[in-house]
Structure 1
Amino acid sequence: MTAPDRTVDEVLRYGARVLADARCATGDARPLLADILEVDRGRLILLGRDEVSEENFKRFEEYLARRCAREPVAKIIGRRVFWGRYFEVSPEVLDPRPETEILIATALEEPAARLLDLGTGSGIIALTLLAEWSQARGVASDVSEAALAVAQTNAEKSGVEDRLDLVASDWWSGICGTFDLIVSNPPYIALGEMEALDPEVRDHDPHIALTDGADGLTAYREIAKGADAHLSSGGRLIVEIGPTQGDAVSKMFAEAGLKDIAIMQDFDERDRIVFGRKG
């Protein structure tokens, strides 16, 4: 591409061609270029005839190369939009998926004054709920200190750090007290399923956040065991699951004494959330 043709419109078209050749989504060119130009991606249409500097074009080519190597856009630019807010993501945390917003929607159906997010990662679940509930307080735990550091940064950027306690904990080991709401998006990929994952997930998300190294149900067994001791009367437990795990996790909830157990589906009508309530 020659300098006279290096307008925003032409650079975007170039990026789309490069991505198409690599069998990546052509629309990924927009957030990548917007990040480099430090503008909202929606403003790119207004900048169509503006020239992209040589330095920024070279950065764009580097971004394209990383995306063509199947690095996710969020990991390239270091942030992800979730429930209308930006959250920092890094190699140390799971790249949030749109399906997790179903957990948020389910949780918001009833208010909660005190919540717990087990295995918080980047903190998106706890932080989104605290941002929606201005009077709520929460605890977010993770076994990874690196993940907790990302969650701390996101808490500060979200303006809810004074209402959130971050705890280093392997599931229930560091958790005290009871909660109106307990949420979790735990590692649910069975070890035998890891190789078949998209490279964006398999090669760029921390494996500790993806798989238990076993049948994909270990975390749910642990969560169900401690639910009764840490839920307030009438309190809710809501977890994200893999699409084949609804019946197994529902059975664990029932064996733990939870009531009103229900399975919610995602945008593709696959089982995605299991809900239970302490009687």
Structure 2
Amino acid sequence: MAEDDSPASAPDLGTVLAEARRRLKAGGGGEAALDARLIVEHFSKTQRIDALRDPALSLDAQTVGHIEEAVRLRLAGMPVHRILGYREFYGLRLGLSPETLEPRPDTETLVEAVLPDLAGIAARKGACSILDLGTGTGAVALALLSALPQARARGVDLSAGAVRTATDNADRLGLDGRFTAIVSDWYGDVTGVYDAIVSNPPYITSREMGDLPVEVAGHDPHLALDGGADGLDAYRVIAAGAGTHLERDGIVGVEIGSRQKTDVIAAFAAHGLRLRSAARDLAGHDRALVFGF
């Protein structure tokens, strides 16, 4: 009998997904099923329904290779969204780069905290100007622009790479006509006054930096994490410059660490800014503060 020299059948979607899930679970990943699905869908250009409706869908060798490499990177500690190169935030798909913090759902708390005040300003003035300090991917500014058609925003970041990433994100989202970004050390090269100053600044203490998990410390830029000896350096700078760059009826909104509320309020009070509102994240932690003169 002649040997069967027919080519081996191509790997199918269901099998590849199950194997990715198995490897990630064996590696101790708490989100193994979700991470496997995100990786496989991204590189195979499929959707969740495809694995349910057509698990026998054949995948070519190049696609399988990309998936296997992505799983290897995930097992080595790279966050899944770093592997994919993007993160969803407030309904927007934002590209990531090594110079940007990966936006987290907690930061959506800041967006929601400032939106009512900004909507009121836009209604009164017919426009609203926003300064986003430490813009990173542009997450906060672009989310606000997507919700407020009357608004314009300027992003500021010390990293030129972050400024490029934020600008690219604005372009892809069709918001480039209302968003600009500059390289600046906080207010250093900023001109003009704004209706709102927003920021998700670095607020981890320098001592705590050494205790961060590898997924954060090894992939998020330390420039966007280290808030100095007490974690409050950035808040002092933001509060000190508000008098020069904030309209008198404007607001300042900042994200904070879960145990920093009292200290951040004091830092802003030292410059004449009073607390207008505070918001907690979905876990019930203090996460965003809004100030005004």
* Structure 1 residue 5: Cα displacement: 7.7
Task: Give the total of aligned pairs.
Answer: 277
Taking the aligned partners of 2:54 and 2:216, their CA distance within structure 1 comes to: 33
Determine if the alignment matches structure 1 residue 254 to structure 2 residue 269. Answer: yes
Determine if the alignment matches structure 1 residue 9 to structure 2 residue 24. Answer: no
Aligned to 2:77: 70
* Structure 1 residue 44: Cα displacement: 4.0
Paired residue for 1:215, among 230, 235, 248? 230
Paired residue for 2:188, among 151, 161, 173? 173
* Structure 1 residue 4: Cα displacement: 4.3
Flag structure 2 segments of 5+ consecutive residues without an equivalent.
1-6, 123-127
CA deviation vs aligned residue, 1:29-50 (integer Å, no higher than 9, x gap): 1111111012345554344221
Question: Which stretch of the first structure deviates more once superposed, 34-43 or 80-89?
Answer: 34-43
1:60 partner letter: I
Question: Which stretch of the first structure deviates more once superposed, 42-51 or 227-236?
Answer: 42-51
* Structure 1 residue 13: Cα displacement: 1.2
Taking the aligned partners of 2:179 and 2:209, their CA distance within structure 1 comes to: 33
Aligned to 2:97: 90
| 8 A Cα contact 2:167 2:180, kept in partner | no
CA deviation vs aligned residue, 1:214-250 (integer Å, no higher than 9, x gap): 3211000000101122111221111011111111001
Structure 1 vs Structure 2 CA RMSD = 1.7
- 5 Å matches for 1:1-279? 4=9, 6-24=11-29, 25-26=31-32, 27-41=34-48, 43-110=50-117, 111=119, 112=122, 113-278=128-293
Taking the aligned partners of 1:34 and 1:118, their CA distance within structure 2 comes to: 34
Taking the aligned partners of 2:24 and 2:8, their CA distance within structure 1 comes to: 21
* Identical-pair percentage: 38
* Structure 1 residue 52: Cα displacement: 1.9
List 4+ stretches of structure 1 deviating above 3 A: 2-5, 39-47
CA deviation vs aligned residue, 1:99-140 (integer Å, no higher than 9, x gap): 001111112223141111001011111111112111211111
After TM superposition, the score normalised by the length of structure 1 is 0.94
Aligned-partner SS, 1:196: coil
Taking the aligned partners of 2:274 and 2:49, their CA distance within structure 1 comes to: 45
| 8 A Cα contact 1:7 1:51, kept in partner | yes
After TM superposition, the score normalised by the length of structure 2 is 0.90
Q: Would the alpha carbon gap of residues 49 and 196 (structure 1) be closer, same or farther in structure 2, given more than 3 Å must change? A: same
Taking the aligned partners of 2:115 and 2:149, their CA distance within structure 1 comes to: 12
Taking the aligned partners of 1:57 and 1:34, their CA distance within structure 2 comes to: 11
Taking the aligned partners of 1:167 and 1:132, their CA distance within structure 2 comes to: 22
Taking the aligned partners of 2:116 and 2:55, their CA distance within structure 1 comes to: 42
2:218 partner letter: D
| 8 A Cα contact 2:134 2:199, kept in partner | yes
1:45 partner letter: L
| 8 A Cα contact 1:250 1:261, kept in partner | no
Flag structure 1 segments of 5+ consecutive residues without an equivalent.
none
